[in-house]
Every structure is written in structure tokens, then in C-alpha cells.
């Protein structure tokens, strides 16, 4: 009887599917050493800063990390809550909610591409469980080599060393998923009922232009202009095109009038050209044009973090007001909303 029960337990474990939920990452604490460690790992990724290794090493370890870590730590301290980093604790909430929805046939783990909990730790646990399948779910609505692509590469690097590799599948983009659009639209409508806005800004994380052109398999599709006006087979994985598509879907859902919204890109680093238009420049122009009230979206992020709460919610608000604007409101990310859980369950079910 005991032997039979043991065999049954092993069979049950083998029949389980592992779900690895992966977000970008966050420092372990807002202290300078932890922030420096995070920046070093993040920026040393060749998909994030795609320059030769020795040049990248010198740039990150001798210039960016030493000088940026103290400044970033100060901002992280503003962001930090009692539960820690919002990006991490919202991820932990989502992990528990997804596990509850999927049930005992699944094992759900949260991982960060950089720092903790690591992808390595999550996959190590899955390896010991003898799962029949692993589904990797990157938390990035739009595809970019520096985000989704980096997660894919890291997972394959780790799993490629296993003697036994189970079936593995990856989810990809969800910028056009109805639940994704519904969340931002519902949250926006709440603010639109409370206040009248004369402009709507959709700000996405930026990327160097060279990373967009490197991903153009045709070699001549990407022109940083009208090529992003619609999604087609030659630009279906273009980050910039997907961002503009996200904006179009939200504009349609909210019924916004032409001329009352725009798409822009934030968080640029260095002197090389990044995808345009730049959000900070757009904000100054809006204020100078006489726009007084702006509702701002940051739909490249699924959890509120440094780039949403601080950069868009506070720094851009100050920039807008300094140049004559009066009212600025950030639309929150998905965080731990039921709609986000529904979205993830749908993505997982399509891969199961």
C-alpha cells in the first residue's frame, strides 16, 4: 500500500505544470550597495546595453553604477513601502492569486530577471519536482529584446544545462489583450469622472533606436515614422509599433478625440538616439501650448514602480506644473487587479 501511494505521489508531481512568472526586477533594499548590485546586473545584460563587453563593463562598473547608485537609492527610498518594493510585492500577490485559480495541478513561482527571487532559483525548484511542462510568462506587455527577449535567453541558458529538459513554452506579448486594455480604460474612466482632462499622454519606456532597427528582419521596414501606424507581419515584434498599437486600442476604448492624445517614450539613457518623441520634451510642449490638465498612462509596465510612480507620477508632474500646467494624474498599472489575474490565466491556458 505504501509503495502504491508513493508511486501515485510521484505520478501526480510528474503531471504538474510549472508556471514561471517573470518581471524585470528590483533591488533587495533601497540601500546603496543593493541598488548598485541591481544596476550592475541589469545594465551588464548585453540585451539591455548592446555594446561590446569590455566597453559595457567599463561604462557600468566605472561610471554608471558608482555615480547613479546613490541617486537611485534615494529615489527607491521614496518608492519603498512597508511591504518593500511595489514591483516585487505586487508580483507576490499575483503569484498567490494565479496559484489559487490554477489549483493543485500547477506549481507557480515568481522570478525576477535581475536579483531576487531569481530565475535560477525558480527553475531549480521546478527541476526537482519533475514537472511534465514549464510555461514561462514574462510580465512585459510589448515585446523588446531587452525585456522579453532577455527572459527567454536566460531561461534557455539555464535549462540548456539540464540532462532532462521537459516541454517548455513561452507566452509573448499581451499589449492587445482585452483584459489589459480594459484595466487601463476602467482606471482612466474613474479619473475622468472626477476631473475634466484636456489631454491624454501615453508614455512608454524608451529604447535605443539601434535596438529597434536590429530587430527589423527585413532591413528596411523600420523608419521611425508611419511604419508604426499599424501592425503587420514585418513589424509584429517591433516594440515601437506595439506601443503605438496599445495607444490606438486605448484611444478607441475610451473614445478619445483626435488631437487630444499622443504617444511618447521615457527613461532614455546616454547620448545615442532613442525612440521618439521623448516624453519630457512632449510635456514641456503641451504646457506651452496651454494644456492645463493631463491624464498620463504608462502601459509598458504591469506593476507600479520607479518608472511609473516616481518618474511619470511625480517628476513629470513637476515638469508639467513648472511650465504652466495645473493638473496631472497618473493612471495606475495592473498591480494585483482581478483583470490582470484573468489575463494571465488566459495566457497560461493557451499554452497548457
Q: What is the residue extent of each domain of the chain?
A: 2-174+338-351, 178-330
Handedness of CA 247, 300, 236, 350 (dihedral sign): negative
* Confidence check: pLDDT of 343 > 70: yes
Tell me the C-alpha distance between 246 and 265, whole Å: 13
Mean pLDDT, rounded, for 77-99: 97
Kindly report, residue by residue over 143-156, the tens digit of the pLDDT. 999 999 999 999 99
Kindly report, residue by residue over 1-53, the tens digit of the pLDDT. 454 454 444 454 457 999 999 999 999 999 999 999 999 999 999 999 999 99
Kindly report, residue by residue over 253-280, the tens digit of the pLDDT. 999 999 999 999 999 888 899 999 999 9
Q: State what percent of residues in the chain have pLDDT above 70.
A: 96
Q: State what percent of residues in the chain have pLDDT above 90.
A: 91
Burial (CB count <10 Å: 0-12, 13-18, 19+), residue 38? buried
CATH architecture assignment, domain 2-174+338-351? 3-Layer(aba) Sandwich (3.40)
What integer best gives the mean pLDDT of the chain?
95
Nearest residue to 85 (alpha-carbon basis) of 25, 141, 163, 44: 25
Topology annotation, domain 178-330 = Rossmann fold (3.40.50)
Cβ atoms 275, 240 nearer than 8 A: yes
Phi, psi of 203 (to 5 degrees): -110, 125
For the beta carbon of residue 83, count every other beta carbon within 10 angstroms: 11
DSSP string, 28-88: SSSSHHHHHHHHHHHHT-TTTS-S-HHHHHHIIIIIIHHHHHHHHHHHHHHH-BTTB-HHH
Beta bridge partners of 112: 23, 118
pLDDT of residue 2: 52
Kindly report, residue by residue over 201-260, the tens digit of the pLDDT. 999 999 999 999 999 999 888 888 888 999 999 999 999 999 999 999 999 999 999 999
pLDDT of residue 5: 52
pLDDT of residue 317: 98
Amino acid at each position: 500500500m505504501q509503495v502504491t501511494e508513493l508511486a501515485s505521489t510521484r505520478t501526480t508531481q510528474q503531471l504538474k505544470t510549472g508556471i514561471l512568472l517573470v518581471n524585470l526586477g528590483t533591488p533587495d533594499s533601497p540601500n546603496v550597495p543593493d541598488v548598485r548590485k541591481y544596476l550592475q546586473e541589469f545594465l551588464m545584460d548585453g540585451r539591455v546595453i548592446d555594446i561590446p563587453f569590455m566597453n559595457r563593463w567599463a561604462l557600468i562598473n566605472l561610471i554608471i553604477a558608482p555615480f547613479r547608485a546613490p541617486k537611485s537609492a534615494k529615489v527607491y527610498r521614496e518608492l519603498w513601502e512597508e511591504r518593500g518594493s511595489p514591483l516585487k510585492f505586487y508580483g507576490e500577490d499575483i503569484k498567490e492569486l494565479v496559484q489559487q485559480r490554477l489549483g493543485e495541478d500547477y506549481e507557480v513561482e515568481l522570478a525576477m530577471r535581475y536579483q531576487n527571487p531569481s530565475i535560477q532559483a525558480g527553475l531549480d525548484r521546478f527541476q526537482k519536482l519533475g514537472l511534465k511542462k514549464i510555461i514561462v510568462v514574462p510580465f512585459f506587455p510589448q515585446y523588446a529584446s531587452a525585456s522579453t527577449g532577455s527572459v527567454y535567453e536566460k531561461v534557455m541558458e539555464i535549462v540548456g544545462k539540464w540532462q532532462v529538459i521537459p516541454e517548455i513554452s513561452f507566452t509573448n506579448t499581451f499589449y492587445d489583450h482585452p483584459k489589459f486594455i480594459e484595466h487601463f480604460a476602467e482606471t482612466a474612466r474613474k479619473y475622468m469622472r472626477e476631473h475634466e482632462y484636456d489631454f491624454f499622454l501615453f508614455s512608454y519606456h524608451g529604447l535605443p533606436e539601434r535596438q529597434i532597427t536590429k530587430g527589423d528582419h527585413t532591413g528596411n521596414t523600420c523608419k521611425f515614422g508611419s511604419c508604426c501606424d499599424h501592425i503587420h507581419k514585418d513589424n509584429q515584434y517591433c516594440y515601437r509599433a506595439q506601443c503605438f498599437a496599445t495607444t490606438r486600442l486605448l484611444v478607441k476604448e475610451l473614445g478619445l478625440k483626435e488631437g487630444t492624445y499622443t504617444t511618447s517614450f521615457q527613461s532614455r539613457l546616454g547620448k545615442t538616439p532613442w525612440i521618439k518623441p521623448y516624453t519630457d520634451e512632449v510635456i514641456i510642449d503641451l504646457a506651452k501650448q496651454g494644456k492645463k490638465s493631463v491624464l498620463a498612462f504608462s502601459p509598458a509596465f504591469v506593476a507600479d514602480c520607479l518608472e511609473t510612480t516616481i518618474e511619470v507620477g511625480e517628476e513629470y508632474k513637476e515638469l508639467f506644473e513648472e511650465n504652466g500646467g495645473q493638473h496631472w494624474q497618473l493612471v495606475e498599472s495592473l498591480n494585483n487587479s482581478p483583470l490582470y489575474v484573468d489575463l494571465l490565466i488566459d495566457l497560461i491556458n493557451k499554452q497548457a
